Structure 1
Amino acid sequence: MLKTLYTRLSLGLFLLLLAVGLLYTFISLYSLRGYSASVSQALHQDLAQTLVSDRNLVSDGGLNPGALEELFSLYMAINPSIEIYLLDLDGAILSYSANPTQIKRNHVSLTPIHQLIEDRSLYPLLGDDPRSHDRQKVFSVTPVPSTDNPQGYLYVVLRGEQYDAAETMARGGKVLEMSAWALLVSLAVAMVGGLAIFHLLTRRLRSLTRLVAEFENSDKRQPLPSHHPSALQHSHPSEASVAHFSNTRWRNKQPVVRDEIDYLGASFDDMARRIASQIEQLKEKDAQRRQLIAQVSHDLRTPLASMQGYIESLQLRRDRLSPEEQDRFLTIALKEGRRLSRLVDELFELAALEAREKQPVPEPFPLAELVHDVVQKHRPAAYESQLTLSLSGDPELPLAYADLAMTERVLDNLISNAIAYSPAGSGINVVVGQTGGEPEVCVKDSGPGIAEQDLPHIFEPFYRGDASGDSGHAGLGLAIARRIMMLQGGDIRVENLATGGACFCIRLPVKAAFSPGVINT
């Protein structure tokens, strides 16, 4: 019953309105009572003085006892709402118009009496009620026989006990009935208006809730039906709807956020798109993992089977093989063993780089000197392959800020690949320079180049294009090179040369710009 936000808001509104209505009723009745007292005292502030003059209470400079008794009797009959008391100068009650059994005081405080005599505008001003030990009421008062010759005070309680009884009866009857009806009508109108407002305010929230429920029950990859609340638009959580979402809500690259619900909707849109994208990435990674396992199994099985075959042949036919054939078998088996060892090493190195277990230790160093040493190291291999390995460019480069050993590993890989794929009699040119103030090295070979369809995948593990042939490489070297460069905050790229061949370039950061990269596997 109370599970929905709308129901809880409605109940909260009802309780709030009920509390406000009761508080308003209490304040209104209290204020009305004070207002009525103020009006009564303002209208009758001269009543005591009028009684003295109209009823001839003063005769020959003194009080007329007979006229006073007549006044008490008369006003008890014609106006029972007032009570008349005669006080001395100390506030003691000398005479009164009430039933003697009902008088609880024999003395009243003179402080409010003096205040009202001095300033007639002070109302409501309450004085002691002789019929109660603690109650106070509005009053009218005048000195008698005169202000210049006061011998006492005529003290008139304007709202006596009979007035209180009549007011209580009226309040318990028609006044309370009217107040109750007014309260109920006000609560009903406010409740209906509040419910309508809550319904409008929670409409977008209900739509968002339905959208979240549909997304929860979906496969997180298929597009959900389009929902278009007034401000919550285009909540499509799947990859298939990202394009539509981008063309509408994100047209200005920022969502239209007017309040918390819009922000919540925009956050859900972004979360749903990311979840869908991550699910697709997980599927793609799972497929790549399966493919990787298959490729690793194949690449490990090939040299292992070759090595095992030659060793078994040598063991079974040793007595029938000449020394030259035995040496050839051993050489091939050793070559395949080295190939297997290199493949395993590369697999471990790639895994360590992807897991960030192997971190670079950057330091400033002259890149041109490192490139010169690496070129000299590979010149014998180039000479054996009948290739010319040259170094050119501007040696005056800013100091690179990277891991020296990792950078050398990348250069070794690029130059080795260039030697492996360049035809005999051609040349390999290593060029040093800078781009945007950062040192750069480009290795340009004279091989067949890279097919256009292979360029986007050239740095993926185990990827080997059609032009690679059977080079003896597992396709891990460029993947390792890319991860090394990303860890160092650098960059690696490849392009085909117009004259033929491929050009691999690496760019290293300088110290002020160094920022370790994030590997996206």
Structure 2
Amino acid sequence: MKQILVVEDNPDISFLVSMHLRDIGVHVDIANEGNEGLRRALAEPYDLVILDLMLPGKELFHDLMIINPAIEVYLLDSQAKILAYSAPQGHVKREALNLPVIKQFLSQGNSYPLLGEDPRSLKRYKVFSAAEIRDDKGLAGYLYIILAGEAYDSVIELVKGSYILKFTASLLIAGLLLVLLFGLLGFFVLTHRLRKLASIMTAYRQGKQDELKRYPFKGKVSDEVDQLILSFNQMADRIDTQLDELRRNDATRREMVANVSHDLRTPLTSLHGYIETLLLKDKSLSQAERQQYLEIANNQSKQLIGLVTELFELARLDSCETLLDVEPFSLSELIQDVQQKFELDAKKQNITLSSDYGNDIPFAYGDIGMIQRVLDNLLQNAFRHTPKGGNITLSIDANAENISVKVADNGCGIPAEDLTNIFDRFYREEKSRQSSASNAGLGLAIVKRILDLHGTGITASSYLRQGTTFVFQVPVYQNQ
């Protein structure tokens, strides 16, 4: 429902106006004097305020413009002549306005807004609103309102013409554009390394050989991106190392399978051949021939047993379940026992087997059975490569922490290019495997694995036609 405020000090007029307005369905409030009307107009959002122009104590056109400074209010007679207004002297340029335009505004079916004459300019037209003022005799005049008054135009013109505001706005826009430009540039610089790293990571994941697989890094970490680059390079290095290790292990496994197959096939073929000969020609063979064949078959079976035993031993040492039975023991006594064990082989091959150690050798601390296996394998290797009339020497030297054991021979020696590979499984110095079929190439690999389990190592030095020396260490037993 529309709300209208009637400001009138004559009660009869205010009653008649309110009765007429209420008849057409409008809510009417009445103020009897100017101050009350101003207070109500400021407090409530009325759709229309009807004013008595001659209220005592107030210039209500001025007060109404105070309520809304953007509008200008004019009182017109029935012929659109300007009767009253609130403006400084000389501001109103027109004495009358175009009545047909006002009537057109009040008529039905018009498209709004309409432009009417501006009383403060002879050339300017503005959007206006108008209402009829009637009394008992009929149409008394019009209320003419300019919706964008001179004060509003002054503000607009001030804004348009303000150089400082224009300059400030231009400066602000330029600053925003500059910040945006630097922001985009900074974003491009910051993400350039990330984009390059992402490209390298994609190429690395796809395994492209012709593209860069590492991000060039200068070695100085300055931010989180550098830390990410460094981490990727290190991770890629570790992955490549592990892949190379897997390839080497796979190649070693394939070679080991081939070697084991060869080493098993040779004695099995020989064993099978002699046994088959015994079965087919048993009646035609003499007792000496039969004995010879049996001895050969027995030797081949021993070779098979030795090879299988070494394979199982190496597999057991490689397993995670291998536990050392460590205890203090006399290494000098163990060497004496091992030397006596090989005395018969030394006499058969006309090789001098000697030992060199003092009486003050401390107790060693380790698995005595495995250390004996190390000495057995080293001596077997020395006997295999030492000619008749040669020398093999066992010697011991001790300090406060370790006991050094040296096994030296004056045999054929090992070429320098083969020296680093002698502890590899199934490695043989000889190019022809048939020349050393009794040697599976596992003895030194077992030696190295046992010493690795003890936390020590073994070294080898050799000169062609002068001999080879192996040196390993065993921890000294610390009696606490």
Q: TM-score, normalised by structure 1?
A: 0.57
Question: What is the SS of the residue equivalent to 1:508?
Answer: strand
Q: CA deviation at 1:376?
A: 2.4
- The aligned counterpart of 2:190 is 201
Match of 2:216 in 1: 233
* C-alpha spacing 1:473/1:131, structure 2 compared with 1 (3 Å): same
Q: What SS does the corresponding residue of 2:466 show, helix, strand or coil?
A: coil
Shift of 1:336: 0.6
Describe the shift of the 1:375–1:103 C-alpha distance in structure 2 as closer, same or farther (beyond 3 A): farther
**Out of 35, 40, 57, which is 1:99 matched to?**
35
- The answer on 1:327 being equivalent to 2:314 is no
* Corresponding residue number in structure 1 for 2:462: 496
Deviation at 1:348, TM superposition (A): 1.6
Matched with 1:257 is 221
Match of 1:473 among 419, 439, 447: 439
Secondary structure of 1:320 counterpart: coil
Name the counterpart of 2:391.
427
Distance in 1 (alpha carbons) for counterparts of 2:411 and 2:437: 13
2:211 equivalent in structure 1: 224
State the partner residue of 2:425: 461
Question: Partner residue of 1:20?
Answer: none
Q: CA deviation at 1:490?
A: 0.8
- How big is the shift at 1:186? 6.0
2: CA distance, partners of 1:345 / 1:279:
32
Q: In the alignment, is the contact (CA less than 8 A) between 1:491 and 1:508 conserved in 2? A: no
Q: Deviations over 1:156-211 (max 9, x none)?
A: xxxx99989669x999x979998999987765544333222111111111111111
Q: What code does the residue aligned with 2:467 have? A: G
1:449 aligns with 2:413: yes
SS of the counterpart of 1:390? Answer: strand
Write the distance in 1 (CA, Å) between the matches of 2:357 and 2:267: 40
SS class of match (1:466):
coil
CA distance in 1, matches of 2:271, 2:64: 122
* 1:309 to 2:245 alignment: no
Distance 1:269 1:165, change over 3 A: farther
Which 10-residue stretch deviates more, 197-206 or 490-499?
A: 490-499
Structure 2: runs of 5 or more not aligned: 1-32, 45-62, 71-147
Call closer, same or farther: CA 1:339–1:190 in 2, change over 3 Å: same
Q: Structure 1 residue 281: deviation in Å?
A: 3.0
- Give the letter for the 1:373 counterpart: D
Q: Is the 8 A contact 1:495 1:503 kept in 2?
A: yes
Q: Look up the equivalent residue of 2:211 and give its one-letter code.
A: L
Distance 2:437 2:400 in 1: 36
Q: Give the secondary-structure state (helix, strand or coil) at the position aligned to 1:286.
A: helix
CA RMSD of aligned residues (A): 3.7
Is the CA contact (8 Å cut-off) linking 1:398 and 1:438 kept in structure 2? no
Query: 1:304: how far off?
Result: 0.4
The AA in structure 2 aligned to 1:202 is T
Which residue identity does 1:418 align to in structure 2? A
Alpha-carbon distance change, 325 to 500 in structure 1, aligned in 2, over 3 angstroms: same
* Match in the other structure for 1:42: none
Q: 1:226 to 1:404 in 2, by over 3 A?
A: closer
Residue 484 of structure 1 pairs with residue 450 of structure 2:
yes
* C-alpha distance in structure 2 between counterparts of 1:182 and 1:506, whole Å: 83
Provide the rounded CA distance (Å) in 2 between the counterparts of 1:214 and 1:289: 30
Which digits, 9 at most, give the CA deviation of each residue in 1:436-480, with x for residues without a partner?
842111111232111222211111111111299426110101011
Q: Secondary structure at the match of 1:257?
A: coil
Q: Which amino acid aligns with 2:447?
A: A
Normalising by structure 2, report the TM-score: 0.61
For 1:286 and 1:470, the matched residues in 2 are separated by: 25
SS of structure 1 residue aligned to 2:392: strand
Instruction: Answer with 471-480 or 416-425: which moved more.
Output: 416-425
Counterpart of 2:379?
Answer: 415
Aligned residue number for residue 81 of structure 2? none
- Is this contact kept in 1: 2:425–2:441, CA < 8 A? yes
Of 291, 295, 298 in structure 1, the residue corresponding to residue 259 of structure 2 is 295
Conserved? CA contact 2:357–2:395, under 8 Å: yes
2:275 touches 2:297 (CA, 8 Å); kept in 1?
Answer: yes
Question: What is the Cα deviation at residue 495 of structure 1?
Answer: 1.0
In the superposition, relative to structure 1, how do residues 391 and 186 fare at CA in structure 2: closer, same or farther (>3 Å)? same
Q: What is the alpha-carbon distance in structure 2 between the residues aligned to residue 264 and residue 503 of structure 1?
A: 49
Measure, in 1, the Cα distance between the counterparts of 2:65 and 2:261: 109
**Which residue of the partner structure matches residue 343 of structure 1?**
307
For 2:159 and 2:314, how far apart are their aligned partners in 1? 87
Equivalent residues, number: 337
Name the amino acid aligned to 1:207. K
Instruction: Check 1:436–1:449 CA distance in 2 against 1; reply closer, same or farther (3 A cut).
Output: farther
SS, match of residue 328 in structure 2: strand
Structure 1 gaps, min length 5: 1-96, 105-129, 133-159, 235-248, 250-254, 513-521
Which structure has greater helix proportion?
A: 1
1:411 and 1:163 map into 2 onto residues whose CA distance is 117
The equivalent of 1:506 in structure 2 is: 472
For residue 427 of structure 1, report the CA deviation from its aligned partner.
2.2
Q: Is the 8 A contact 1:443 1:503 kept in 2?
A: yes
Question: Which aligned pairs between 1:19-98 and structure 2 lie closer than 5 A?
Answer: none
Change (3 A) 1:423 1:98: farther
Contact 2:200 2:213 in 1 (8 A): no
Q: 1:279 corresponds to which letter in structure 2? A: L
Change beyond 3 A, Cα 1:186–1:510: farther
Q: Which amino acid aligns with 1:389?
A: L
SS in 1 for 2:411: coil
d(CA) in 2 for partners of 1:464, 1:162: 115
Aligned to 1:365: 329
- Quick one: distance in 1 between partners of 2:267 and 2:290? 18
Whether the aligned pair in 2 keeps the contact of 1:310 and 1:333 (CA below 8 Å) is: yes
Q: Residue type of the partner of 2:469?
A: C
CA distance in 2, matches of 1:434, 1:164: 112
CA–CA separation in structure 1 for the residues paired with 2:191 and 2:477? 54
